[in-house]
């Protein structure tokens, strides 16, 4: 009989009643529970709980009964209430400088509770919000379904990012995404699901409110640095509410800003607010001169003006406000508050983590002043060595107008773009497998010794010093890859199947050329003597980028963990975790791409070239005024990235006889008998592969699977795109197999 009772109990449990999906989410957020916490309690994946709350899937036994029990208990703590529009509390007097966080409407979900309400308390009633002048007004009524400007109901505010601790100076986090409804009421969406009423009626009033009451910003990343300014992200509806165009005209896009005389600019001027030289564009800073050492600055981001480049931010500009707040909030808390494009932010992060000045010891009068901070790049821009200067730089003004500099005049450290034809043995294999290095330029920045704030020193016939950063004119054409030192042993290899480590094209150098220190040091590592003819060296040196790498490395690894890919997985477990990882949380996938572009763009900005039709060779351009315009540092990082790639390929060839058929930047393609990276990379039972070669894993410098295509596909691409003796680079197309452009450009 007991078996029958058990069967009946199981049948009842299989149909345990559940509230609607939106109510499930409301109850979880009302108790400040994260998806991860619920998933851990029920022993399911985070994505599974997310599917239950979105209505895409329904729980099954045995989890269904436990999930129903959880929701029933939460419903007793947080009963659903529908407040009539005319049943609103009387206005309350302000009790503090912060705007009141309110419970979201039914269409928004009570996300604010995650940031402002103890886990055991019911959601608070609406409170008064403050105008810039300090007068309070009644909070808007809580409506079951507020009218939305755009088609479709406003989505719930996700409470899936950590909220700052209450009571801090920046208790409401680094940013708000502002949206307006049909009644022109403005709502701010912040991190941790925070939802705030925004009382400001004009852009000047909005800036005042942000600085006086919003409690937005972020703590400095270094004790000698400065706190991050508040960031306001304006949706299309918010732009209209504050008198800004939803889109810029063609002429405004070309200028990158609103024209002088625009009514909003006049409003700011009348309120004594100023703009930086770039004006009111997609990214803008509105400020007043600092008073008493305190900054007064607010930054704007306007996605509909293309502030969020889709190459870095994907479809972020199309997200609902609460979702966009989550994406930008996670990025801000893991990297830094965005200050422009990911490239600009990557460059600014270097300075934020390694400020140029510090407070001095008190002088005779007891006052302190700013002084140079050791280990930084200082506050003054620096001219590069002539060989390091980009074409058209003022230091090259004496060159003939149409002179083309060759390798003996110009430092040319760039990433790989190399390919070769398949051998007969490789044509007999079935697959081409691509391996991609995670955060390759970030890994190369880690430990890089670079010049700091002193100018380069020219020397003639110097002995090579691998610890001295600089640029060296040296002949490396004698290095023969057929016989090299690998570790401590000399090895015989098929040098024709490997790219040269000294040129981005992989071609063997023909004579003297300029190289960064890591490139010359690698020639010595391979067992060959070097004799530089001259050099520009930087005796004042340090590991300027180490903190920058660590910050971005941690952001990358944490975001991959959010997507279900953890560190220290065995190779097979790692490959399995990588299957469909971007679909587990599309918003976190956007953050991941932004982090990667921050690394790549930040390194690129170290050598920002002149832009605009008015510039002429020999003239200066704005980027040269930055202490962070340092092409020598960029060259060092790219040199290390290319050398790291070559070293791994060399060790793999020495151990297995496998050689790459194509290399593009951080991707290498190999012929294999099977479709998996495990068919290229040998490993033992513990997951260890060839020492010094590629390793599968999520950490920067390790590799992931880029893509697999058939050898027949590769032969077809080589036949289609090969021309004038140039071999098509299969690494460019290995990911999807689609060939959409002629080889040589993306």
Instruction: Give the tens place of pLDDT for each residue, 615-635.
Output: 999 999 999 999 999 999 999
Which whole number is the average pLDDT over 339-355?
Answer: 97
User: How do residues 144-196 score in pLDDT, each as one tens digit?
Assistant: 333 333 333 334 444 455 555 545 789 999 999 999 999 999 999 999 999 99
| Residue 139 confidence class, pLDDT cut points 50, 70, 90 | very low
Alpha-carbon span 25 to 20, nearest angstrom? 9
Q: Where are the beta strands (DSSP E) in 577-722?
A: 662-664, 667-672, 703-710
Minimal CA–CA distance to 371: which of 355, 392, 349, 384?
Answer: 355
Kindly report, as residue ranges, where domains of CATH 1.10.260 are found in the chain.
2-77
User: How do residues 4-16 score in pLDDT, each as one tens digit?
Assistant: 655 656 555 556 7
| Residue 32 confidence class, pLDDT cut points 50, 70, 90 | confident
CATH topology classification for 2-77: 434 Repressor (Amino-terminal Domain) (1.10.260)
| Residue 82 confidence class, pLDDT cut points 50, 70, 90 | very low
* Lowest mean pLDDT, pick from 117-121, 352-356, 503-507, 622-626: 117-121
Alpha-carbon span 154 to 189, nearest angstrom? 12
Distance from first CA to last CA of the chain, Å, rounded? 71
- Look at the block and give the residue holding tokens 């390091």: 388
| Mean pLDDT over each residue of the chain, to the nearest integer | 86
Q: Which of the two residues, 743 and 261, has the higher pLDDT score? A: 261
H, E, C per residue of 251-281: HHHHHCCCCCCCHHHHHHHHCCCEECCCCCC
| Residue 135 confidence class, pLDDT cut points 50, 70, 90 | very low
Whether pLDDT at 364 is above 90 = no
Using CA atoms of 145, 146, 151, 154 in order, give the dihedral in degrees to the nearest 10: -80
Which span out of 54-68, 499-513, 686-700 was modeled with the highest average pLDDT?
499-513
* Lowest mean pLDDT, pick from 166-180, 223-237, 440-454, 699-713: 166-180
Alpha-carbon span 128 to 137, nearest angstrom? 6
* Lowest mean pLDDT, pick from 24-28, 197-201, 504-508: 24-28
For residue 549, give every residue at least 6 positions away whose Cβ sits within 8 Å of its Cβ, in sequence order, or none. Answer: 442, 443, 445, 446, 700
pLDDT score of 292: 66
- The predicted model scores a pTM of 0.79
Whether pLDDT at 745 is above 50 = no
User: How do residues 645-692 score in pLDDT, each as one tens digit?
Assistant: 999 999 999 999 999 999 999 999 999 999 999 999 987 766 678 889
| Residue 47 confidence class, pLDDT cut points 50, 70, 90 | confident
pLDDT score of 611: 84
Contact 544, 356 (CB under 8 A): no
User: How do residues 702-739 score in pLDDT, each as one tens digit?
Assistant: 999 999 999 999 999 999 887 777 899 999 999 999 98
Which whole number is the average pLDDT over 451-462?
Answer: 97
Whether pLDDT at 594 is above 80 = yes
Paired strand residues for 187: 179, 197
Q: Which of the two residues, 12 and 40, has the higher pLDDT score? A: 40
Alpha-carbon span 462 to 520, nearest angstrom? 13
């Amino acid at each position: 009989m007991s078996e029958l009772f058990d069967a009946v109990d199981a049948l009842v449990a299989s149909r345990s009643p559940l509230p609607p999906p939106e109510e499930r989410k409301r109850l979880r957020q009302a108790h400040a529970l994260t998806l991860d916490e619920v998933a851990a309690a029920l022993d399911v994946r985070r994505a599974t709980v997310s599917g239950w709350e979105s209505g895409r899937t329904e729980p099954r036994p045995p989890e269904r009964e436990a999930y129903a029990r959880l929701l029933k208990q939460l419903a007793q703590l947080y009963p659903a209430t529908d407040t009539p529009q005319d049943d609103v509390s009387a206005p309350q007097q302000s009790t503090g400088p912060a705007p009141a966080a309110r419970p979201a409407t039914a269409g928004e979900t009570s996300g604010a509770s995650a940031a402002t309400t103890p886990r055991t308390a019911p959601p608070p009633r609406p409170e008064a919000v403050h105008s810039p002048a300090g007068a309070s007004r009644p909070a808007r009524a809580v409506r079951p379904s507020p009218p939305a400007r755009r088609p479709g109901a406003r989505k719930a505010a996700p409470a899936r990012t950590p909220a700052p601790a209450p009571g801090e100076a920046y208790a409401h986090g680094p940013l708000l995404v502002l949206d307006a409804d049909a009644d022109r009421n403005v709502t701010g969406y912040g991190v941790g699901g925070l939802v705030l009423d925004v009382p400001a009626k004009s852009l000047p009033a909005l800036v005042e409110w942000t600085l006086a009451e919003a409690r937005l910003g972020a703590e400095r990343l270094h004790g000698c640095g400065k706190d991050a300014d508040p960031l306001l992200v304006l949706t299309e509806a918010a732009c209209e509410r504050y008198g800004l165009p939803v889109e810029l005209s063609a002429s405004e896009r070309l200028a990158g800003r609103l024209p002088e005389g625009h009514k909003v600019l006049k409003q700011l001027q009348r309120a004594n607010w100023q703009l930086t030289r770039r004006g009111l564009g997609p990214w803008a800073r509105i400020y007043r001169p600092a008073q008493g050492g305190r900054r007064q600055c607010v930054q704007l981001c306007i996605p509909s003006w293309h502030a969020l480049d889709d190459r870095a931010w994907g479809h972020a500009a199309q997200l609902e406000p609460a979702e966009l707040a989550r994406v930008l909030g996670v990025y801000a808390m893991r990297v830094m508050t965005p200050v422009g494009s990911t490239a600009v932010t990557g460059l600014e992060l270097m300075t934020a983590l390694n400020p140029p000045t510090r407070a001095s010891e008190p002088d005779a009068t007891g006052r302190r002043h700013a002084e140079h901070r050791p280990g930084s790049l200082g506050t003054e821009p620096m001219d590069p060595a002539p060989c390091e200067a980009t074409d058209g730089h003022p230091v090259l003004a004496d060159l003939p107008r149409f002179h083309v500099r060759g390798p003996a005049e110009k430092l040319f450290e760039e990433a790989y773009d190399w390919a070769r034809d398949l051998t007969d043995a490789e044509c007999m294999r079935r697959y081409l497998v691509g391996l991609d290095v995670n955060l390759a330029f970030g890994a190369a920045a880690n430990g890089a010794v670079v010049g700091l704030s002193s100018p380069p020193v020219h020397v003639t016939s110097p002995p090579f010093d691998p610890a001295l950063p600089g640029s060296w004119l040296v002949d490396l054409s004698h290095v023969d890859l057929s016989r090299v030192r690998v570790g401590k042993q000399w090895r015989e290899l098929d040098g024709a199947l490997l790219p040269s480590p000294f040129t981005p094209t992989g071609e063997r150098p023909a004579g003297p050329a300029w190289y960064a220190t890591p490139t010359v040091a690698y020639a010595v590592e391979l067992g060959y003597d070097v004799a530089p003819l001259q050099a520009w060296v930087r005796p004042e040196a340090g590991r300027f980028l180490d903190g920058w790498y660590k910050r971005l490395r941690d952001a990358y690894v944490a975001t991959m963990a959010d997507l279900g890919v953890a560190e220290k997985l065995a190779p097979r477990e790692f490959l399995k975790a990588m299957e469909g990882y971007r679909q587990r949380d599309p918003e976190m996938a956007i953050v991941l791409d932004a982090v990667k572009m921050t690394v790549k763009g930040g390194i690129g900005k170290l050598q920002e070239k002149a832009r605009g039709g008015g510039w002429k060779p020999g003239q200066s351009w704005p980027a040269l005024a930055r202490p962070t315009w340092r092409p020598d540092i960029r060259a060092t990082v790219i040199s290390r990235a290319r050398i790291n790639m070559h070293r791994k390929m060399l060790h793999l060839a020495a151990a297995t006889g496998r050689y790459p058929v194509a290399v593009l930047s951080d991707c290498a393609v190999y012929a294999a008998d099977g479709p998996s990276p495990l068919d290229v990379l040998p490993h033992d039972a513990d997951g260890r592969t060839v020492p010094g070669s590629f390793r599968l894993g999520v950490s920067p410098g390790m590799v992931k699977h880029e893509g697999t295509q058939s050898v027949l596909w590769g032969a077809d691409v080589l036949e289609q795109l090969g021309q004038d003796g140039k071999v098509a680079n299969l690494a460019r197309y290995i990911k999807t197999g689609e060939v959409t452009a002629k080889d040589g450009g993306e």
